[in-house]
Amino acid sequence: MEALHETIQNQTIQLSSLDAQSTSIAISYVFIYENTKKSKDFMHTERLADSLYVALERFPVFLGHLVEKQYGLDQVVVDRDNLNSPMFEESSSNVCYGDIRMANFHWSSWKACLPRSLSLVVTPDDSGSVKLLQVHIARLGNNSGVVMAVSTLHSLVDGYGFFRFINDWARTCAMGSDAPLVSYSSDRNIIEQNLPKLGKPIGPVSLRMYAKFNAVAEWMAWTSNATRGWMIKRGIEAADGEGHFFKVTGESLDRLRDSVKQVVEGRVSDNDLLASLASHAIAKGQKDVESSAGKGILGTISSALSTLVGQVPGNLRANVVCDARHRIGIADKNFIGNGLISPVAEIPLDKLEVAMTDRDLAEITRVIRSLVDNADGEYVRGYLDVWKQHPTAFARALVALGSDNRFISITNQTRFGAYDADFGSGRPTWACPAPTLVPNIVFILSSPDSHRDAIVYITADKPVMQNILKNSYWMDIAELIN
């Protein structure tokens, strides 16, 4: 930390509307490593810590102090005479790597190794301060491996920025002074300076989500970060969903793409197919639960709630997270702040009573593909204009995710290079987000085995998940991992 005093420049980083989307939320990721050579110096603590501080010279945002402002538009003040040092902890566990491997890396096999570093919400400590970077190293039994958890505030960086940091740190640890020096930017003005002058409408579904008044959301937006974080944390802890990892092979995706392209013109990406598959699997599972409940009081209540939140009965809203960088021409700027937009697609699912077919998948894929294609630079401008006009929009999205069972969030994390995080002792054998059981979340992740395969993590209410596991169309394509 003493060396950082000499190299870090004082600065104030003003967070933006895009950052406010993730206020109080953490990015928490877990990396599991096997000590295949039984090395005594495997993932050596001193080397990890020293290289961390060297890497932080290029990521000073993690060393700042969070200054709370209204509507999530906080500031990060970096003062080299008062740096906010990261939390760096180490512990030992009796759990061996082989036990985790035998459990197919299921969270239950390693979660107890990391008691403090897996929170999905960032809240101040008793002094009112917030550690902007937390690292926990858990050494597994018999020196068989390491479980490493890294967590930071999502409003500081998005997935792109987070993994730029992780992989920069890893290279620094592995290569020392030979590691390439890369400059990164946290200047939020980069986005504004590269937007087109005129925007375009973001569509009625997205506009209804972000612009419609919601009393609960207005209160959440108005209250303090600590109170908002407490509310979100309690909601997450109360969630009683079920989550599973599934593997979808590249061969399956290629077969589906050939079939879907008979109906859908133009490009069909892996993301289009996986987002469509996951959307249908969740929605079909929900439909089956509703059908089994009949038209009684539960069905009446569900229908009434859907009406109250503005949802069209029988339709699904899919929030497909997109990176704005290449859409506005800043992919080469190494911008590590939040560059994410979240357009919302409404998918008519009137065929859910019958078994899924490739043609049904094609219709959903058409909607997803159209949504993504429409999210160009003018859309980004229009999106930001709406958020500036409605500064409480970030809270409206949080409330929707927590209260509307026909609203799902889909995030693709396959381009971040999670398995490139080699600290000099080999690449991780498993990498995934911290455990969450909040229903209706979909993470599309890289596979540790092949760049052509994908890992899909899906959460749902427990009765819905049981139906997903019985969905023959989905299960013929996806292999249950854990």
- The CATH number that applies at residue 407 is 3.30.559.10
Residue 103 backbone phi and psi in degrees, to 5? -85, 10
Same domain? For 40 and 124 the reply is: yes
Q: Is the pLDDT of residue 368 over 90?
A: yes
The answer on 243 and 106 residing in a single domain is: no
Q: CA 223, CA 227: separation in Å to the nearest integer?
A: 6
Whether 175 and 201 map to the same domain: the answer is no
Q: What is the pLDDT of residues 396-406, one digit of tens each?
A: 888 887 777 88
Number of domains present in the structure of the chain: 2
pLDDT of residue 115: 65
420 in a structural domain: no
In a shared domain, residues 347 and 371: yes
Categorize the per-residue pLDDT at 357 as very low, low, confident or very high, splitting at 50, 70 and 90: confident
Structure confidence at residue 71 as a pLDDT band (50, 70, 90): confident
Beta-bridged to residue 139, according to DSSP, are 92, 146
Write out pLDDT tens, residues 387-427. Answer: 989 999 888 888 887 777 888 999 999 999 999 999 999 99
* 352 in the same domain as 208: yes
Please indicate, yes or no, whether residues 26 and 141 belong to a single structural domain of this protein. Answer: yes
Question: pLDDT: is 295 or 388 the higher one?
Answer: 388
Does residue 231 fall inside a structural domain? yes
If we measure between CA atoms, which residue out of 255, 226, 246, 261 comes closest to residue 444?
A: 246
Confidence of residue 198 (pLDDT cuts 50, 70, 90): very high
User: Residue 158's pLDDT is what?
Assistant: 96
pTM for this prediction:
0.92
Between 70 and 474, the more confident residue is 474
Single out the residue in 163, 189, 215 at which a domain terminates: 189
Q: Which domain holds residue 126?
A: 2-189
Interatomic CA distance for residues 49 and 115, integer angstroms? 20
* DSSP one-letter string for 22-39: TTTBEEEEEEEEE-TT--
Structure tokens, 395 = 């809270």
Taking the C-alpha atoms of residue 406 and residue 395, their distance in angstroms, rounded to an integer, is 18
52 vs 176: CA distance, rounded Å: 11
**Structural domain contains residue 422:** no
What is the rounded CA–CA span in Å between residue 145 and residue 238? Answer: 32
Q: What is the enclosing helix (H) or strand (E) of 20?
A: helix 17-20
Answer whether residue 424 is part of any domain. no
- 358 half-sphere exposure, CB direction, 13 A CA radius: 15
pLDDT at residue 165 above 90? yes
Contact 154, 434 (CB under 8 A): no
pLDDT at residue 180 is higher than 80: yes
CB within 8 Å of 407: residues ≥ 6 apart: 311, 316, 317, 319, 400, 401, 440
Q: Could you tell me if 392 and 458 lie in one domain? A: yes
Residues 136 and 204 in one domain: no
Which of 189, 214, 246 finishes a domain?
A: 189
Instruction: Say if residue 172 is in the same domain as residue 209.
Output: no
**pLDDT at position 304:** 47
Average pLDDT of every residue of the chain: 89
C-alpha 120/C-alpha 231 separation (Å) is 12
pLDDT at 300 over 80: no
C-alpha to C-alpha distance for 330 and 339, rounded to whole angstroms = 10
Would residue 373 count as lying in a domain? Answer: yes
Establish if 182 belongs to a structural domain.
Answer: yes
Q: Give the tens place of pLDDT for each residue, 20-56.
A: 988 888 999 999 999 999 999 999 999 999 999 999 9
Residue 423 domain flag: no
Residue 168 shares a structural domain with residue 184: yes
Same domain, 298 and 359: yes
Q: What is the pLDDT of residues 253-288, one digit of tens each?
A: 999 999 999 989 889 999 999 999 999 899 889 888
Look at residue 453 and tell me if it is in a domain: yes
- The reply to whether 409 and 323 lie within a common domain is yes
Among candidate residues 136, 160, 189, the one where a domain is terminated:
189
Structure confidence at residue 126 (pLDDT): 66
